[in-house]
Structure 1
Amino acid sequence: MNFSFLRFFLTIIFLFFSCTNNPLTTSFNQYSLKVNSVIVTNITSQSGTVYWECSSETEGSLYSNIEGKLISFYTPIKSKLHSYSLTSLKPSNTYSFAVFCGNDYENLNILNFLSSFRTLNQEPSLSEIYQRGIWIFGGMNSQDKLISDVDIYDPIENKWYLKVTTMPNPRIHAGIVAFNSKIYVIGGLIENTVNQLAATSLVEVFDINTNSWSTLSNMPTSLQGFSYGISGEGIYLLGGATTSNMLTSTLSNTIYRFIPQGSGLGIWNTLISSSAISQKVDTVGCAFNGVLYFGLGRSASSGLAQSSHDAYVISSNSTSGITESSFNSGRHGAASICYTPKTSDPFPSDSKAILYIGGSSLQDTTQPVTAINSSNTYEYYLPNDSSINPNTMSVGLPLPVNLYMAAGEISYLKRNAYLFGGLVNRGLLNTSVYYMDLANPLGNSWIELTDKMPTPRYGHKAVILSRN
């Protein structure tokens, strides 16, 4: 090794300890033999591949310092394009390197050849994906076939994890609730023995710790198209119909309560409200502090879309204790998203709220419906115990597309609301995912993600594990 090469080599080592913010791609024009460009691809949490292009066919070399160990690479093969993969790196670290073309070390200006890149974050564990991901359960495809695959969308990495589990009995218009690291699938419409959709009383639970399904105690009756929410140790169900014929089978003033029992089968109770509850199907809502809010939906007697809004107070077994703002338009099959920030969340001071999105204004008495007039309406409701403007219903910016029977949830880490799938028109599925920044829920627009839903569906539900 001659002295000029040694001087070059030692200077590289010095610069690796003193230089951190260098461009990823650079062009050099000082000499007739030069590096035209440098780029790093296939970057992961532990590796990256460096490509560099020479101005003519020549040898190539690379030097780097990886965790205190000098890495050197030289190829005598003359080529314009050279590459080398740096491995055994640490996540979320910046790594510098130097590349050059040829072997005329006397004419190299090494400052122009230094570049750097940053490795990705550590690949999340399955447990992390489960906890921060949005689970997509149930629903139908564009041919009205029930979907059994359960997918997870990770909003942190904007990545889908497909078929993380399979529903033993796929269904539509069910209640799907995450509670104590388990996901409960309650009622809905399933396919019977003659390949027809029928309401069911079946209750199943997916345990994320054991990655297994179990069958629990059946509901007191078959039920589909109902509102539901969690309060205390119970899951409360309200409204809906006991068959697929809503004209003859809707419940009157009845609330069902399910109390899970760890490894047991659970206990069902039937409550009769002390005040009247309108008979409706496909209402939506949320439970906050012992109050189950429910609204929109279809009238059981006519199938007309409703704009009414009500609340069942669990402690008083009544709907008469609270006055709720009505919706601006009648719709059924809307998506509802419950926003319930906790003190441990990045934005704990945000007000709890309910987001109501889309739906159909068309009268219909069948289930599933035969025709829709989908909507792009987005309404934002602050409940009665909100710290700001309680009992306020406001209209936000509309969706970019009309949707019926979409599903939505929150990423509290991202402070975004997400909306998945749904029908644009009967037989035409929406394949897109939309999100909205909740920093300004009435002023921010819904934005379409680049990646599409891997399994488009409607009548499905989206749940997260971090709220209960």
Structure 2
Amino acid sequence: ALVNTVYYYSVYTKNTANKFSLGTKAVLEIVPLNTIYSVEVSAFTVTQPSGTINASLTWTNPVDSDFDSVLVLRKTGAFPSSATDATATTLYAGSLTTYTDSTTLVNTVYYYSIYTKNTSKNYYSLGVRKSIEITSSPNIISTNLEIVSNFNSVVSDSSIELSWINPTADFSGVLIKRKADSYPSAYNDASATTIYENNGTTYSDTTGLTNNTTYYYSIFVKNSSALYSQYSSRTFKTFRTDFTPTVRQRCFYLIGGSSNYSAPFTNLVSQIDAYDPVTDIIYDNVATLPTPRYGCTVSSTNGKIYIFGGLDSNKKLVAKVDVLFVSSPIWPSNVWSTIQDYPAPKFMARSENVNGNIYVFGGSSDFYGTTTSPATYLNFATYFITNEISMYNPQTETWVVDRKYVPLMAGSLMNFGSGVYEGNIFYGAGRYTTAGALSLGTGAFLLNLNTFISQAALVGTFVPSAAAGNVMYQKKAVDGTDIAFFLHCGGTTTASTSEPIRAVAANLAAVTTCKMIRFPLSTGATAPTWINFGAVVKTLLTARAYNQAEYYGDSIYTFCGITSPSGVVLNSVEKINVDDALTFPTGWGSVGTGGTLSPRYAFDITKINN
């Protein structure tokens, strides 16, 4: 052996059948004899006390006038090679004769070395070694030790509020631990922070929180014998102090949808994300949708967002209307409520706020079975496309479906776009049925809500597409004139009777195409058609379908969707600036900092209308 060299040894046993064992391993660093303190501790033991998953170390210090202290090191996989082993964990340095290692985990072998150090030279001994495997304690893993239920967390402006329901059998309290990178693994996880130990049912975590950090909580139950459960209930939340009431009021909110194109209904997105168009900052996971849904439509009024229709994880139409109170002064506590059920639920419908009332229209009301291989699709969803309109009055909290007061659409549509112009609803560019066959709509209609008259369809020459991002953009030019147009960006050019849209033996054909219709509309033979988006055509950076679009000030944004042919679900944002001449000189660009949007498609987006 050479000095200052680490050697790794394995000893194997062999039976009479010439079969070898797995072996016992040891590591040793050869150091110069003149640098070794020759006196060791005695009676070194490592045990696991009953009812714990700790390691208890005891020893007897040497009786020597040159003795100064001991150093306890620990490793997994092998013993520490020397007192200077940089890969080992230092547990203790001092002159005591006991130490309790409370950072151990069950079903793990730990290797301990204890070294003595002298006073005269600060030399260390070669060390004494012991190992132990920490096993599950019957008192720790107990079927009689229930965990708490309904362990929830919500974020306020300065804290994360935790709540839970305690068990009743053999209960004396709970212990809550917190980490910033993963869930605490056990009640004695030394890498976690203990934030609460008592017998209450709520706790406000305000200590040591860092903005835009996700915190993971585990809550362990303690019984009357002061023993803790090994298993826990868990919850997590991202803490933020910058999601202020002012920011909330100007954000776009991305709600619903699925994160997987092949298996949409087992991957519904419950996370609600917000996007601040003033700062281009993403605020992810600002709230959790009570009823995750595919193909929902959302609108807002009076500081509240209403979520209508869609399909749940069982592919059932959702009549329940979830309402998010974005303007709540105690956000995010108690921000969810419901209203009367949507009387005629659909999926892939549209909704618009017109003069404080919300109109929900179009969509599909059913499908004929599903295809599940190689992916999940709803068959013949287009056979149930409707032209029905329902109106919800937030003031009276009632639905109006009487055709004396609410008209029908000029045609049946799903996967289409809509907007509001001068108190009337503009809609078009979706999927409709003609003589039982599916086509992609190039038409568009302006529905007068006073006369119930729809202006004739507008037609264009571009390749039709559906399931695109659509937005009615309006602003004042520098000279005071009104600028208004309806933008249709992206979408898919393939047709199918299924939902999601699919092409034969391929994914949907997502496109980068952008087209628009200028407002106000003329009439008769001079009615405007779809035109290019800019004299020099501005196309999206990424082909995307089932995306959504919104605008703020001088900018238009489009979010998420599916690209093709891969079928990858996107979580990106593109932005384009709108100049008065509508030349869009900068083109589309990628934006979004701060958080990370959840990948999603078949969702909806809204900004807050007060």
Structure-2-length-normalised TM-score: 0.50
Question: Is the contact between residue 149 and residue 167 of structure 1 (CA under 8 Å) also seen in structure 2?
Answer: yes
1:460 matched to 2:603: yes
The Cα shift of 1:352 comes to 2.3
1:278 matched to 2:411: yes
CA distance in 2, matches of 1:380, 1:283: 14
CA distance in 2, matches of 1:406, 1:234: 25
Per the alignment, do residues 356 and 133 of structure 1 end up closer, same or farther by CA in structure 2, a change over 3 Å counting? same
The Cα shift of 1:436 comes to 0.1
CA distance in 1, matches of 2:479, 2:474: 11
Deviates more, 1:173-182 or 1:271-280: 271-280
Amino acid at match of 2:324: F
Task: Specify the alignment match of 2:252 in structure 1.
Answer: 134
Q: Pick one of 462, 469, 482 that aligns with 1:335.
A: 469
Per the alignment, do residues 367 and 209 of structure 1 end up closer, same or farther by CA in structure 2, a change over 3 Å counting? same
Task: Specify the alignment match of 1:202 in structure 2.
Answer: 320
Task: Specify the alignment match of 1:398 in structure 2.
Answer: 539
CA distance in 2, matches of 1:455, 1:443: 29
Q: Pick one of 280, 299, 304 that aligns with 2:439.
A: 304
Question: Is the contact between residue 389 and residue 408 of structure 2 (CA under 8 Å) also seen in structure 1?
Answer: no
The unaligned stretches of length 5 or more in structure 2 are: 1-240, 368-379
Per the alignment, do residues 428 and 169 of structure 1 end up closer, same or farther by CA in structure 2, a change over 3 Å counting? same
Question: Is the contact between residue 408 and residue 417 of structure 1 (CA under 8 Å) also seen in structure 2?
Answer: yes
Per the alignment, do residues 450 and 202 of structure 1 end up closer, same or farther by CA in structure 2, a change over 3 Å counting? closer
Task: Specify the alignment match of 2:306 in structure 1.
Answer: 184
Query: How many residue pairs were aligned?
Result: 331
Task: Specify the alignment match of 2:209 in structure 1.
Answer: none
Give 3-state SS (helix, strand or coil) of 1:190's partner: coil
The Cα shift of 1:446 comes to 0.7
CA distance in 1, matches of 2:559, 2:470: 12
1:220 matched to 2:343: yes
Per the alignment, do residues 446 and 242 of structure 1 end up closer, same or farther by CA in structure 2, a change over 3 Å counting? same
CA distance in 1, matches of 2:408, 2:310: 26
The Cα shift of 1:424 comes to 0.4
1:416 matched to 2:549: no
CA distance in 2, matches of 1:348, 1:392: 25
CA distance in 2, matches of 1:184, 1:429: 25
Task: Specify the alignment match of 2:401 in structure 1.
Answer: 269
Displaced runs of 4 or more, over 6 A: 272-276
Deviation per CA, 1:347-373: give whole Å up to 9, x if none.
975512221111111111112234311
Amino acid at match of 1:419: T
Task: Specify the alignment match of 1:446 in structure 2.
Answer: 588
Q: Pick one of 475, 492, 496 that aligns with 1:364.
A: 496
CA distance in 1, matches of 2:251, 2:476: 17
The Cα shift of 1:129 comes to 1.0
Q: Pick one of 158, 162, 171 that aligns with 2:284.
A: 162
Give 3-state SS (helix, strand or coil) of 1:304's partner: strand
1:435 matched to 2:575: yes
Per the alignment, do residues 178 and 327 of structure 1 end up closer, same or farther by CA in structure 2, a change over 3 Å counting? farther
Deviation per CA, 1:400-428: give whole Å up to 9, x if none.
2211011111122xx21111111002531
Amino acid at match of 2:391: R
Question: Is the contact between residue 341 and residue 347 of structure 1 (CA under 8 Å) also seen in structure 2?
Answer: no
Amino acid at match of 1:462: I
User: How many percent of aligned residue pairs carry the same amino acid?
Assistant: 20
CA distance in 2, matches of 1:313, 1:327: 26
1:376 matched to 2:376: no
CA distance in 1, matches of 2:491, 2:569: 14
- Cα RMSD (Å) of the superposition? 2.8
Deviates more, 1:285-294 or 1:298-307: 298-307
CA distance in 2, matches of 1:410, 1:182: 19
Deviates more, 1:157-166 or 1:449-458: 449-458
The Cα shift of 1:161 comes to 1.3
Give 3-state SS (helix, strand or coil) of 1:201's partner: coil
CA distance in 2, matches of 1:310, 1:180: 28
Task: Specify the alignment match of 2:483 in structure 1.
Answer: 351
CA distance in 1, matches of 2:407, 2:598: 43
The Cα shift of 1:443 comes to 3.3
Per the alignment, do residues 275 and 228 of structure 1 end up closer, same or farther by CA in structure 2, a change over 3 Å counting? closer
The unaligned stretches of length 5 or more in structure 1 are: 1-122
Pick the structure with greater CA Rg.
Answer: 2
Deviation per CA, 1:119-166: give whole Å up to 9, x if none.
xxxx86611111222211111113521101111112332222121111
CA distance in 2, matches of 1:275, 1:130: 35
Deviation per CA, 1:186-240: give whole Å up to 9, x if none.
111222xxxx322222212111233411111112212111232222232112221
CA distance in 2, matches of 1:218, 1:172: 17
CA distance in 2, matches of 1:459, 1:266: 27
Give 3-state SS (helix, strand or coil) of 1:434's partner: strand
Question: Is the contact between residue 220 and residue 268 of structure 1 (CA under 8 Å) also seen in structure 2?
Answer: no
CA distance in 2, matches of 1:376, 1:360: 9
Q: Pick one of 254, 269, 273 that aligns with 1:147.
A: 269
Per the alignment, do residues 393 and 149 of structure 1 end up closer, same or farther by CA in structure 2, a change over 3 Å counting? same
CA distance in 2, matches of 1:347, 1:455: 41
CA distance in 1, matches of 2:311, 2:528: 33
CA distance in 2, matches of 1:256, 1:325: 27
Structure-1-length-normalised TM-score: 0.65
Question: Is the contact between residue 248 and residue 327 of structure 2 (CA under 8 Å) also seen in structure 1?
Answer: no
CA distance in 1, matches of 2:539, 2:359: 31
CA distance in 2, matches of 1:151, 1:176: 14
Per the alignment, do residues 442 and 381 of structure 1 end up closer, same or farther by CA in structure 2, a change over 3 Å counting? farther
CA distance in 2, matches of 1:168, 1:288: 32
Amino acid at match of 1:418: Y
Amino acid at match of 1:433: V
Q: Comparing both chains, which one has the higher relative contact order based on Cα–Cα distances under 8 Å and sequence gaps of 6 or more?
A: 1
Per the alignment, do residues 290 and 223 of structure 1 end up closer, same or farther by CA in structure 2, a change over 3 Å counting? same
Task: Specify the alignment match of 1:64 in structure 2.
Answer: none
Give 3-state SS (helix, strand or coil) of 1:271's partner: coil
Give 3-state SS (helix, strand or coil) of 1:432's partner: strand
CA distance in 2, matches of 1:304, 1:390: 23
Per the alignment, do residues 385 and 176 of structure 1 end up closer, same or farther by CA in structure 2, a change over 3 Å counting? same
* Higher relative helix content: 1
CA distance in 1, matches of 2:325, 2:408: 37
The Cα shift of 1:265 comes to 3.9
CA distance in 2, matches of 1:233, 1:403: 32
Deviation per CA, 1:83-139: give whole Å up to 9, x if none.
xxxxxxxxxxxxxxxxxxxxxxxxxxxxxxxxxxxxxxxx86611111222211111
Deviates more, 1:399-408 or 1:209-218: 209-218
Amino acid at match of 1:434: E
Question: Is the contact between residue 380 and residue 442 of structure 1 (CA under 8 Å) also seen in structure 2?
Answer: no
CA distance in 2, matches of 1:295, 1:317: 16
Per the alignment, do residues 411 and 133 of structure 1 end up closer, same or farther by CA in structure 2, a change over 3 Å counting? same
Per the alignment, do residues 172 and 390 of structure 1 end up closer, same or farther by CA in structure 2, a change over 3 Å counting? same
Deviation per CA, 1:32-81: give whole Å up to 9, x if none.
xxxxxxxxxxxxxxxxxxxxxxxxxxxxxxxxxxxxxxxxxxxxxxxxxx
